[in-house]
């Protein structure tokens, strides 16, 4: 059916500001392509703490369970930073949602549009054709979730523990996603680990090599994470797909975002197992956070949120034409020279715009 339903969790900081733009885009996409999306707005994160006293109300979980997908803004901020760890927005809402829905595959497509090359801090000759790398990040395992976790006193000292755990089965399934993605792209996959130090990474590398046997056309290579961080800056154009664990993927994807011009450009899809109809239940969110430093000023870049909506339409609703059209509308707005502050360099032909103006331009481009 083309009558869909989604849960909208805008959250904190710039979350509601950029979500407003994504919803405008969704309205136009529905009208143009003839489908409907019922939306239910739910409390999450600091906004939920302030309203009802906990970061992830039961109501919110229930609405998400009934929906086809979740469109997520961002959570967290200084106001809630001193609460007990598990009551904070990130650990009390975002991570539990990912775990609850089994969203183990986080796709982060870092794309530097040719028109934004000069906004990238890497030398333009290093990205002659822009930058286009997909980071496939494992999202429900590793040091984020391993047990034991916590802190205790020991001999008058304080000990804090996080445990990095990966099961072979967890590595295998994320590697399969990455190889499958590479098959649909340039067929080059770099697996990022720290196999010179970590047991987890030795198992990661072994397993990745095993999975590669099922994808003989994909050229697989391995990099230690420190070297990967360096090579991304040194030769950004040499990468096609990256696959890595939860923490390394978190860090490298922010780096990729910046190579693309701004963190405000990087969307993400967090997916579980594929359904019989080839679609996924998923959560879609910008890779960046609530940006407290610019929240409330109407200047945040809404593109990561809008491209996250496009990924939602593609992976969870199967509305591929609308997804393509939204990407094209974003490109058109960028090509016309419009720039939110994070992308603005003062070059000829650039116009600095607000969050709302960027949203309006994308809406207009989508309407034609």
Within 82-121, the residues that bind ligand IPM by CB under 6 A are: 90, 94-95
CB of residue 30 to Mn ion, shortest distance in Å: 30
Nearest to ligand NAD of 282, 289 (CB atom): 289
Instruction: Give the range of 10-18, 21-29, 250-258, 278-286 binding Mn ion by CB under 5 A.
Output: 250-258
CA distance 147 to 164: 8
Task: Find the binding residues for ligand IPM in span 173-212 (CB under 6 A).
Answer: none
118, 139, 175 from 209: Cα distances, Å: 37, 20, 9
Residues 76-105 binding Mn ion (CB under 5 A) are none
Residues in the annotated binding site for NAD(+):
77-90, 289-301
Enter the DSSP assignment of 197.
T
* Structural tokens at position 27: 């309205």
The answer to whether 107 and 311 are in contact (CB under 8 A) is yes
Q: What is the C-alpha separation between 53 and 23, in angstroms, rounded?
A: 27
Q: Minimum distance between the CB of residue 253 and ligand IPM, rounded to whole angstroms?
A: 7
CA geometry: angle 12, 19, 351, nearest 5 deg: 110
- Residue 111: CB atoms within 10 A of its CB come to 22
Q: Give dist(CA 190, CA 174) in Å, integer.
A: 13
Helix (H, G, I), strand (E, B) or coil at 24: helix
**Residue 92 C-beta: closest distance to ligand NAD, Å:** 12
Dist. CA 164–CA 168, nearest whole Å? 13
Q: 14 vs 23, which CB is nearer to Mn ion?
A: 14
Binding site residue list: 77-90, 98, 108, 137, 226, 250, 254, 289-301
Instruction: Kindly tell me which of 200 and 355 has the beta carbon lying closer to ligand NAD.
Output: 355
Dist CA 2 CA 4 (whole Å): 6
> How far apart are CB 222 and ligand NAD at their closest, in Å?
27
Distance of alpha carbon 69 from alpha carbon 74, whole angstroms: 16
Residue numbers 269-288 binding ligand IPM by CB under 6 A:
287
Task: Compute the least distance from the CB of residue 174 to ligand IPM, in Å.
Answer: 15
Catalytic residues: 144, 194, 226, 250, 254
The footprint of ligand NAD (CB under 6 A) covers: 14, 18, 74-77, 90, 94, 262-264, 285, 288-294, 300-301, 304, 342
Q: Which does residue 109 touch among ligand IPM, ligand NAD, Mn ion, none (CB within 5 to 8 A, set by kind)?
A: none
Closest-CA residue to 349 (of 116, 111, 127, 129): 116
User: Which one of ligand NAD, Mn ion, ligand IPM, none interacts with residue 7, CB within 5 to 8 A by kind?
Assistant: none
Q: Which residues bind ligand IPM (CB under 6 A)?
A: 76, 90, 94-95, 250, 287, 289
């Amino acid at each position: 059916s083309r009558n869909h339903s989604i849960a909208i969790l805008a959250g904190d900081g710039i979350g509601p500001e950029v979500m407003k733009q994504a919803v405008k885009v969704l309205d136009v996409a529905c009208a143009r392509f003839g489908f409907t999306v019922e939306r239910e707005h739910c409390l999450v994160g600091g906004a939920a703490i302030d309203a009802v006293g906990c970061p992830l109300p039961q109501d919110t979980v229930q609405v998400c369970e009934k929906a086809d997908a979740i469109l997520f803004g961002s959570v967290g901020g200084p106001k809630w930073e001193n609460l007990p760890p598990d009551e904070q927005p990130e650990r009390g809402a975002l991570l539990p949602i990912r775990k609850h829905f089994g969203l183990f595959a986080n796709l982060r497509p870092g794309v530097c549009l040719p028109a934004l090359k000069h906004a990238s801090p890497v030398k333009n000759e290093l990205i002659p054709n822009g930058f286009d790398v997909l980071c496939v990040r494992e999202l429900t395992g590793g040091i984020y979730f391993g047990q034991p976790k916590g802190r205790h006193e020991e001999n008058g000292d304080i000990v804090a523990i996080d445990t990095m755990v990966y099961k072979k089965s967890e590595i295998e399934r994320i590697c399969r996603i990455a190889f499958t993605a590479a098959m649909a792209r340039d067929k080059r996959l770099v697996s990022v680990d720290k196999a010179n130090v970590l047991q987890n990474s030795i198992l990661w590398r072994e397993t990745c090599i095993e999975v590669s046997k099922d994808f003989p056309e994909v050229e697989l290579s391995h990099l230690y994470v420190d070297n990967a961080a360096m090579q991304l800056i040194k030769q950004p154009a040499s990468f096609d797909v990256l696959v890595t664990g939860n923490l390394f993927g978190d860090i490298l994807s922010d780096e990729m975002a910046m190579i693309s011009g701004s963190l405000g450009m990087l969307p993400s899809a967090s997916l579980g197992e594929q359904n019989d109809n080839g679609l996924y239940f998923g959560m879609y969110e910008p890779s960046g956070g609530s940006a407290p430093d610019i929240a409330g000023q109407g200047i945040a870049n809404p593109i990561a949120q809008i491209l996250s909506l496009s990924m939602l339409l593609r992976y969870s609703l199967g509305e591929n034409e609308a997804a393509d059209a939204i990407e094209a509308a974003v490109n058109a707005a960028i090509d016309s020279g419009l720039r939110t502050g994070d992308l603005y360099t003062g070059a000829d032909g650039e116009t600095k715009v607000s969050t709302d103006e960027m949203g309006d331009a994308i809406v207009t481009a989508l309407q034609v």
